[in-house]
Amino acid sequence: MPTRAGRSPLSRDRVLRAAAALADRDGLAALTMRKLGQELGVEAMSLYKHVANKDEVLDGLAELLLAEFDPPTDDVGWREAMRRHAVSARATLARHPWGPVVLSRSGPSPAMLRNLDSVIGSLRRSGFSVELAAHAISLLDSYVYGWAVQEASLPFDTPDELAELTGAIMEGFSAEEYPHLAEMGTELIMRPGYDHGRQFEWGLELVLDGLERALGEGGSGG
C-alpha cells in the first residue's frame, strides 16, 4: 500500500525537481538524501532506484540549471544576444543560489557543451574570429559567473536589506580603520535608491563595448 494515496510514481526527473525545490527553499546544505526522500514521501534509500548516488543528483541540478539559460538568438545582433544571455544567466543564478556550486563541480556535460556551442556559433556568425570568440566567452563567462558567486554569498535580497546590512557592518568598524570603505558605505551604498544590480549592467556594457571595439579592429587584439 502506498504511504500516501494518489502519489505519482517516482522517477529520476521527479527526484531532480524535488531536489531543486528543496535546495531553493532551504539551501544546498539542507539537501540530504533523507530530506529529499521525505519531500517525496519516500525513504532515502528508495531514491537510489532512480539515481546512482548523490553526485548524480547534483549533476542533475546542474543540468536543470543550464536548461534555464536562454540560448542566444541570431535575430538581434551579437551584442544584444550576448547581453540577453548574460542577463538571463545572472537572473537564473540569482534565483538559485546553489547554482555556482553545482556548476563548478560538474564536468563538461552535454547541456554545458550545447550551451557553449550555441554561444560560440552566435559570435562566429557575427564575424568574430575563433580566437576572439574564445576571448569573448572567457571574459563574459568569468564576469557573469564571478558576479553570481558573490551575489549568492550575500545574505540579502532587496536593496533595503543591503543598506541595513551595510549599516550594521559599518558599526562594527571605525571610519579610521577603513576610511574609504566607510565613505563608500555612507555616500553610495546606503543612499536611498542605490541599486546594487545596476553595477552588473554597467560592467556588462563596459565589457560589450570592449568586445565591439576589438571586433572592429578586426584582429584578436593583444
Partner DNA sequence: CCCGGTGGCTTACAAAGTAAGCTAGGTGTA
Partner DNA sequence: TACACCTAGCTTACTTTGTAAGCCACCGGG
Cα separation, 147 vs 90, whole angstroms = 8
Dist CA 32 CA 131 (whole Å): 43
Pick the stretch among 11-19, 33-41, 69-77, 213-221 that binds a copy of itself (CB under 8 A). Answer: 213-221
Confirm if 57 and 106 have CB atoms less than 8 A apart. Answer: no
> Which of a copy of itself, DNA, none is residue 74 near (CB under 5 to 8 Å by kind)?
none
Q: Which of residues 165-184 bind a copy of itself (CB under 8 A)?
A: 169, 173, 177-181, 183-184
* CB proximity list for 151: less than 8 A, separation 6 or greater: 90, 93, 94
Quick one: what does residue 10 bind among a copy of itself, DNA, none, with the CB cut-off 5 to 8 Å set by partner type?
DNA
Residue 54's binding partner among a copy of itself, DNA, none (Cβ under 5 to 8 angstroms by kind) is DNA
Measure the CA–CA gap between 121 and 138, rounded to whole angstroms: 14
Neighbour count for residue 3 (Cβ, 10 Å): 8
Cβ pair 18, 40 in contact under 8 A = yes
Partner whose footprint covers residue 131, from DNA, a copy of itself, none (CB < 5 to 8 Å by kind): a copy of itself
Q: Which of 68, 85, 76, 89 is nearest to 119 (CA)?
A: 85
Residue of the chain from 24, 48, 121, 186 that contacts DNA (CB under 7 A): 48
CB of 102 to DNA, least distance (A): 13
Interface size with a copy of itself, residues (CB under 8 A): 58
| Closest to 144 measured CA to CA, from 86, 102, 103 | 86
Q: Considering only CA atoms, which of 110, 88, 114 is closest in space to residue 99?
A: 88
Question: Minimum distance between the CB of residue 147 and a copy of itself, rounded to whole angstroms?
Answer: 4
Residues within the interface to a copy of itself (CB under 8 A): 100, 104-105, 108, 110, 113-114, 116-118, 120-121, 124, 130-131, 133-135, 138-139, 141-150, 152-153, 169, 173, 177-181, 183-184, 187-189, 199-200, 202-203, 205-207, 209-211, 213-214, 221-222
Binding residues (CB under 7 A) for DNA: these are: 1, 3, 9-10, 30-35, 37, 42-46, 48-50, 53-55
